[in-house]
Amino acid sequence: MRANPINDFLTFLMGDTGDQNALGPYKYLTVALYLGLLVAGLVIAWVNWSRDPSQRTIKNLSIFAMRFIAAGMWYQGSLWKLPWPVNSGFRFWLDSTGKYSAFQFHSDIMTALFIPHVGIVQPLVYLLEIFLTASLMLGFAVRLSGLIAVVFTLNLWIGLYNDPTEWAWTYIGIVMAHGMFVASDAGRSLGLDNLLRRWPIAPLTGNTLLARGYRLAS
């Protein structure tokens, strides 16, 4: 069958992609985690829609949809970075950032600091992409996750800038999308950030360090 987005998505939901099959029986945990976040995100969106009339706009629906799609991108990308053992594909792309970097100082950093410690870098990148998935899917602390995604993607843009198999503007597109999530407070569009702003819980109120940190992050 010719590959298409609908078939690829259904294949993922059945745990039948190449990256998932490589995990053996544990592949279904990847499906369960994604479905859990998906359902939670949809429930949060519905609560926003039903309780807050200001949320019922095309703008909020559009931002919500873009958050969901971006979250799927990060989650799919995390599947081949599961920690231990070190994935040969991850090692290849990490090596490429040192080889094709746009700047010598960046190449030196990647070569001296990150590439020799790939066994530590891979699980950290995996956890980062899971955080980005959860944040965007739930609409929680999206200003923070959007900013982190911008920095993370800029590193890829610089590192793979001279790779002849890459199109550098792909990374700029991802940077712009997540930059707009930051600028538009995207978690306040049918997300948990809006619920917590309208009906805050005790730890996130007042002038405590946690409350101030969350206000900045959302």
C-alpha torsion 171→107→147→82, nearest 10: 80
Structure token digits, residue 108: 């030196």
33 φ, ψ (degrees, to nearest 5): -65, -45
pTM above the 0.75 mark? yes
Structure confidence by residue, pLDDT tens digits, 36-47: 999 999 999 999
Would you give the distance in Å from CA 70 to the centre of its chain? Answer: 7
- Name the region of 109 (left: φ>0; alpha: ψ -120 to 50; beta: rest): alpha
Closest CA to 109 of 120, 91, 94: 94
Distance CA 126, CA 48 (A): 30
Structure confidence by residue, pLDDT tens digits, 8-54: 888 888 888 888 888 888 888 889 999 999 999 999 999 999 999 99
